[in-house]
Structures are given as structure tokens and as C-alpha cells.
Structure 1
Amino acid sequence: MKKLGDKIILVDGHTRAFAAFLRGFSQIPVYWESEELDWDAYAVCVEWCEKENVRTIADLKNRVVPEKDYEILWCKRCEELDKMLKRKRKET
């Protein structure tokens, strides 16, 4: 977990949290993230999720896709974001 702006976000463990949700858990133990990660990238990812109305783990329920599609829809998108942020940082 991390506070990013005025939001508290889950930065890792989405699959485990979703599996717990499917098993009926309404709460799970979490830990505050202490490492310095690419918070600019996380901010963009949070924006993407908000645009798709994904605000909680429960919102993923009808959005599970095959691994092949996940690679395109999420992983490649994140790779492109990483490239864009690196270019942007070089410019400044």
C-alpha cells in the first residue's frame, strides 16, 4: 500500500487480493510500501484504472482476460508508459 496524492493504492499483490476477494474475504493483511518506486508511472496507472472505473479489487471481477490478452492489454501498455516516461525525463 502507498499513499499517492490523496489516494491509498495497492502497489503489488493484485492477484492475491483478487483471489482472496473471490474466496469471500472482505479484508486482507497489507503492508505499507517503503521502497522508492516509479511513482510517476503508478500515478498514470491509477488514472488508467479510474478511467475504466476500476477503483477496488472487486471491480476486476468481470475483467479477467486470458494471459495472452493480459500481455497486450496491460504489460505492453506499461512498457510503452515506461519508454514515454524515460523520454520525458531525458527532455527535462
Structure 2
Amino acid sequence: MSHKDPNYLLKDLQPSQFYISQAKLSNIQAWFRKDDLSNFEPLPVKVLDGIPILTDGHTRAVVAILAGLESVPLVYEEDELDWNLYHYCVEQCNQKGIHSPYDLVNRVISAHEYEEKWINWCQQISSKLQQNQK
């Protein structure tokens, strides 16, 4: 089942994470060319409760913003992900005042902090949500 690719501006996308790893950011900036997006993998978007949610590619979105772009290639998320987890992450983003990838520009942290504050947090929340579903 093929959908037309989503047509949103970066400012319209709701992030589902609230930190960006400096290491990932630097890696992407090394190859990113704003005038040639041919090697830019489209960012996956899922519409939840009528809101276009960025399910992945947050760092690439921030790199594009830092390069002055307002839009990049997007694709509808086709994978069946843990939507309860995404709902919770989006709620947490909203509570932290993160409503678009632009809000992540000032939330770049070291790779070590990213592992601690984001990856570990996600794993704990995912485990809690799975326990609550049993």
C-alpha cells in the first residue's frame, strides 16, 4: 500500500525525542549538502492523533535546519512501532516545550549524555509500558 509522501515543513513536525547527540550531529554534518539531497534518506513521519510525528531522523532534521532548509524529503512510517511508547514520548516532548525540530537545535548533548539521558530513558519507559500492558 503506497501513500503519497507527506508534504510538511520541518516546523510542522512533532519530535518524539528530546535530545540530539553531538557525535551523530557531527557525523551527519560531514556528509550533508543542502544543495544535494540525493543521499538524504527521507525522514519517517507517522500521523498520530492528527499530528505529524517524526519517528526517526531527528538529527538529520536538525542538520537540515542548521543548514537553513525549511523542508526535506519525508516518507510515511510503514513499520509497526510501539505507538504507546511514541505517544508517551510526544507527551514528554510537549511538557518540555519541544513542538518542532527547531526546538531540538539547543538540545544537543555529548554522546555520553545522550546515552544516559535519552537511550537509557527510552529503555526504561519501554519496559514500564510493556509491564503495564500485561
Pairwise TM-score range, normalised by the shorter structure: over 0.9
Inter-partner Cα distance in structure 2 for 1:27 and 1:78: 27
**Pairwise mapping of residues 2-81 of structure 1 onto structure 2 (< 5 A)?**
2-81=46-125
The answer to which structure has the higher strand fraction is 2
Q: CA deviation at 1:6?
A: 2.4
CA RMSD of aligned residues (A): 0.8
Q: Any stretches of 5+ residues in structure 2 without a counterpart? A: 1-44
> How high is the TM-score relative to the length of structure 2?
0.65
Hey, which bits of structure 1, 4+ residues long, moved more than 2 A? none
2:14 matched residue in structure 1: none
Which structure features the higher share of helix residues?
1
What amino acid is the match of 2:84?
A: D
- Aligned partner of 1:5: which letter? D
Q: TM-score, normalised by structure 1?
A: 0.93
**In structure 2, the residue corresponding to 1:44 is in which secondary structure?**
helix
1:57-89: per-residue Cα shift (whole Å, max 9, x none)? Answer: 110111111111111111111001111011111
User: Which one has more relative contact order, counting CA pairs under 8 Å at least 6 apart?
Assistant: 2
Taking every aligned residue pair, what percent have the same amino acid on both sides?
39
> Gapped runs of 5+ residues in structure 1?
none
